[in-house]
Amino acid sequence: MKLLFVADPLEVFKTTKDTTFAMMREAARRGHQLWACEPADLVWVKGARVVARAARAIALTGDQKAWFTVLSQGELALADTDAVIMRKDPPFDSEYFYATHLLGQAEREGAKVFNKPAALRDHPEKLAILEFPEHIAPTLVTRSASAVRAFHAEHRDIILKPLDGMGGMGIFRVGPDGLNLGSIVETLNRDGAQTLMVQKYLPEIVHGDKRVLVIAGEPVPYSLARIPQGSEIRGNLAAGGKGVAQPLTSQDRKIAEALGPVLAARGLLLVGLDIIGDCLTEINVTSPTCFQEITQQTGFDVPKMFVDALEAAVREGEDA
């Protein structure tokens, strides 16, 4: 198959832990052709198709630093590939949004895009949990400072976070004393101009913020518990959390099996559920990670499971 990865610049990949690299490596092992571009390379003009200008056909070298070599470079119509894998990291900003529309046009021209562009738009990673209230902790989404104060008065120990953050960016905890609640709300909601999310603090975070991967509706049997270190409340690996792979708990599996088929039916081939204790906290759909950490610690081959699912999805599209 000819695979086009739409991603961040290849030169910034950290191959020892990068999930997109792990996908590429498994695909290359099977003999698939690898192409790569950035969202800025996507172009459409009336009378033509969506193309990736300056797309690069690459081969993997096996070297950790100079990990790829460019075989050729040029314009590539997305519909001339077997699959387009959208792996641009957050934030989900205006440019990401526009890229999903170009990818949607490519779909209309015959391209197969994973995850489906419309599904990326319909599942903002923090707000997507609102559809599944039976699995989440007490949660508030608001611009109102008074609503936040009332939520704090009820739950006493809370977490506040922006809706467009990633890697633990902009997350605050306010305890029963309410210290700095006003200034934190002002910082996050910018005098009512920006919506924020508030959730009851879950003390189970000390045991990790678990990333549960769901591929084609089926959960990977191990999660990666991202455990806060030192005085941190954030388990995100980008914030210094320690990643520890562990078997899914019964509640992890219950949540994954409830959501997996629903999300897969909407065109989300790969999803990363974040679970603290027994509560779902986020649904990650843009570029879920943790393939390498889980594979290295458990021996379960997550990239293999993903490429198996990708091949099956492409075949299914051809048969439809």
DSSP string, 254-278: HHHHHHHHHHHHTT-SEEEEEEETT
Give the pLDDT of residue 81: 98
Q: Which of 88, 234, 236, 293 is catalytic?
A: 234
* 234 in active site: yes
Candidates 211, 236, 252, 293; catalytic one: 211
- 19-40 pLDDT tens trace: 999 999 999 999 999 999 999 9
Candidates 18, 38, 82, 274; catalytic one? 274
- Known catalytic residue: 116? no
**Catalytic residue, candidates 26, 82, 282, 293:** 282
Catalytic site includes residue 149: no
* Per-residue DSSP letter, 136: B
For the record, the structure tokens of 212 come out as 């549960």
Q: Are residue 194 and residue 209 in the same domain, yes or no?
A: no
Q: For residue 169, what pLDDT is reported?
A: 80
Do 257 and 177 share a structural domain? Answer: no
Confidence (pTM): 0.94
Residues 155 and 221 in one domain: no
Judge whether 189 counts as a catalytic residue: no
Tens-place pLDDT, residues 146-171: 999 999 999 999 999 999 877 778 89
Domain count, the chain: 3
Range of the domain at 17: 2-115
pLDDT at 235 over 70: no
Catalytic (active site) residue 232: no
Residue 200 falls in the annotated catalytic set: no
**Alpha-carbon span 115 to 272, nearest angstrom:** 12
- Residue 273 in this model has a pLDDT that exceeds 80: yes
Q: What is the pLDDT of residue 320?
A: 60
Q: State residue 66's pLDDT score.
A: 96
Q: Which of 88, 126, 200, 210 is catalytic?
A: 126
Rg (alpha carbons) of the chain, rounded to whole number: 20
- Is 274 in the active site? yes
Report yes or no: 161 and 196 within 8 Å, Cβ to Cβ. Answer: yes
Is 75 catalytic? The answer is no
- Pick the last residue of a domain from 52, 83, 115: 115
Query: Choosing from 56, 87, 88, 226, which is the catalytic residue?
Result: 226
168, 245: one domain:
no
**CATH code, domain with 71:** 3.40.50.20
Could you please report the per-residue DSSP string of 295-309?
HHHH---HHHHHHHH
The pLDDT tens digits for 87-137 are 999 888 999 999 999 999 999 999 999 999 999 999 999 999 999 999 999
